[in-house]
Amino acid sequence: MTQTGPANLHYLANPLLNKGTAFSQAERDQLGLTGLLPPHIETLDEQIIRAHAAFRSQASPIEQHIYLRNLQDDNEVLFYALLIRHLPEMMPIIYTPTVGDACKQFSEIYRHPRGLIIPYPERDQIEQILDNAINTDVQAIVVTDGERILGLGDQGAGGMGIPIGKLSLYSGAGGVDPAVTLPILLDPGTNNQERLDDPMYIGWRHERISGEEYFEFVDLFVQAVKRKWPQVLLQFEDFAQQHAAPLLEKYRDQLCTFNDDIQGTAAVTAGTLLAAANVTGVPLKDSRIAFLGAGSAGAGIAEELIRLMVKQGLSEAEARDRVYMVDRHGLLTDAMQGLLPFQQPLAHPAASVRDWAAGDISLLDVITHAKPNILVGVSGQAGLFTEEIIRTMAADSDHPIVLPLSNPTSRIEATPEQIIHWSDGKAIVATGSPFDPVSYKGDTHHIAQCNNSYIFPGMGLGVLAANATRVTETMFIAAAEALAALSPALADRRASLLPDVSDIRDVSRQIALAVGLTAQADSVAPKTSRDALEAAIAAKFWTPHYQDYATGDA
């Protein structure tokens, strides 16, 4: 029987159901779509070719981002099929660095609702808002409050671009069915005056709430999520450092949750450094590591590396002695006032470094006196890895490892080309955003993108496939070690430290297996055999394809 009226529009309006020009003639007849679509019936492959040509015709990365977002809101199968086919080309468009511009311009480029927005004035309606989610079988949520978007700071409602982009990679890179994902923005206001003064700003026009009001707002949300979806994986994303660590500590034992900025960044950095250690021949436990940036991301990386050093045989005290955290006031020491709780365990005894400088101990002072062979930048400030710093470091290390991780590229501490030239070609470099290879004196240096996208999609897949109830720190260590084991540099030290982005779906499956096995060992997932877990991952792994809606009785 032919359907007519609103039912036919349901198939065209729902991006999870829409096939566009790929609806068969039988489907068009039965669903009442005849005349609503062009007569030529395309295959998914034909649609991909046409969509890719349209993508390529866009004038700038932000225009390409807008095109892909519109495509996602129209036809998710085609969007993901296109994304997976051209992942190296399109990941920088849907994720870093272009997503930063998209967040800044979110109000201007807003076209279509996606996910849920929960403004503070509607905090008494959170349960009803969750009930309004289009996806009903929600298994994975990414939530932000928009306060610390990449290295760009407070973007208010524009921060919604991050959960949308992250979940696009859950599906595109990690094989998680988009029908079970949900991006959420908590909107507690913004302190970005440019946003508040913008007549087009679509968020709650109010300065950010703070203190107990803020934490009560987040708690209302988390408790409502626990009641509605008790088994959900909840990923916190781009929360400011004064909130990120306390929220993680409060909720990590209440539901299956993690903070990607703290734990995901730590895991991908640890995996990259484990791979680099295999290249240089200097084990992590024998390294000295300097950080520029002592916020929640930097501290999270440091703590992960300390756990790995302890696993490799050091005492915790010995491991902490090898890590140096530098922020805008210099090296963290126990004589500093106002250190945050997560910074205090990383502070060095002031007496042990009192001869390094007359006042604040700068990064250059640390490089000169501690002689680290690893330098990690998570400062969010461009140009802070100077030529003097890199040359000083290279003078004491055969192969200094330098990771300027700040995003977007406008905030990077130094470019790979600068670092390689200043180190006379000795440095091994990985960055947060993608960079082309660097040629120096006849050698080609491949630049790994040390980006969370290597970790969180596989983490999500592993958690869901294993039916894990919590996310443990050892699960992140397992993810880091699995990533390091896949390094192309193991076979060729001149190759990239991390696998090519085109291989990221296979990487995610390997990480999912390591995560799932560790979840079982940590007793936060049901015990099964390795074969059963591999089968569960394969069954969970989503590949974009069209369903057949024809019933055969037309």
430, burial (CB in 10 Å: exposed 0-12, middle 13-18, buried 19+):
buried
**Residue-level pLDDT at 413:** 97
Q: Does some domain include residue 102? A: no
Predicted pLDDT of residue 334: 95
What are the mean pLDDT values of the chain's consecutive 10-residue runs (554 residues total)?
Answer: 62 95 96 94 98 98 98 98 97 93 96 96 98 94 96 95 98 98 98 96 98 98 98 97 94 97 95 95 97 94 97 97 96 95 96 93 98 96 96 96 91 96 96 92 93 96 98 97 95 88 97 98 98 98 96 52
Catalytic residues: 95, 166
pLDDT at 1: 44
* Phi, psi for residue 236 in degrees, rounded to 5: -85, 140
208 and 177 share one domain: yes
Residue 187's SS3 state is strand
Same domain, 201 and 226: yes
CB 328: neighbour CB atoms within 10 A?
11
pLDDT of residue 433: 84
547 within domain boundaries: no
Which pLDDT belongs to residue 553? 44
Both 244 and 370 in one domain: the answer is: no
Report how far residue 259's alpha carbon sits from residue 507's, in angstroms, rounded to the nearest whole number: 21
Other beta carbons within 10 Å of 546? 20
**Based on the domain organization, do 288 and 412 belong to the same domain?**
yes
d(CA 536, CA 519): 14
139 and 243: one domain?
yes
Whether 364 is covered by a domain: the verdict is yes
Sequence-ordered list of residues with C-beta below 8 angstroms from that of 72, at least 6 positions apart, any chain: 15, 79, 114, 168
Handedness of CA 423, 425, 430, 435 (dihedral sign): positive
User: What range does the domain containing 470 cover?
Assistant: 454-540
Same domain, 488 and 434: no
Q: What CATH number is attached to the domain comprising 287?
A: 3.40.50.720
What is the residue-wise DSSP string for 383-400? T-S-HHHHHHHHHT-SS-
420 and 305 part of one domain:
yes
Q: Which of 390, 422, 452 is the last residue of a domain?
A: 452
Number of domains in the chain: 4
Q: pTM score, two decimals?
A: 0.93
Same domain for 445 and 460, yes or no, is no
439 and 497 co-located in one domain: no
Q: Are 536 and 459 within one domain?
A: yes
Residue ending a domain, choose from 205, 239, 260: 260
116 and 59 together in one domain: no
Among the candidates 431, 452, 473, a domain finishes at 452
Tens of pLDDT along 124-151? 999 999 999 988 899 999 999 999 998 8
pLDDT for position 71: 98
CATH number of domain containing 34? 1.20.1370.30
On whether both 414 and 484 belong to a single domain, the answer is no
Q: Is residue 471 part of a domain?
A: yes
User: Would residue 548 count as lying in a domain?
Assistant: no
> Residue 100: inside a domain, yes or no?
no
Cβ atoms of 478 and 255 closer than 8 Å: no
In a domain, 170, yes or no: yes
Give a yes or no: residue 413 inside a domain.
Answer: yes
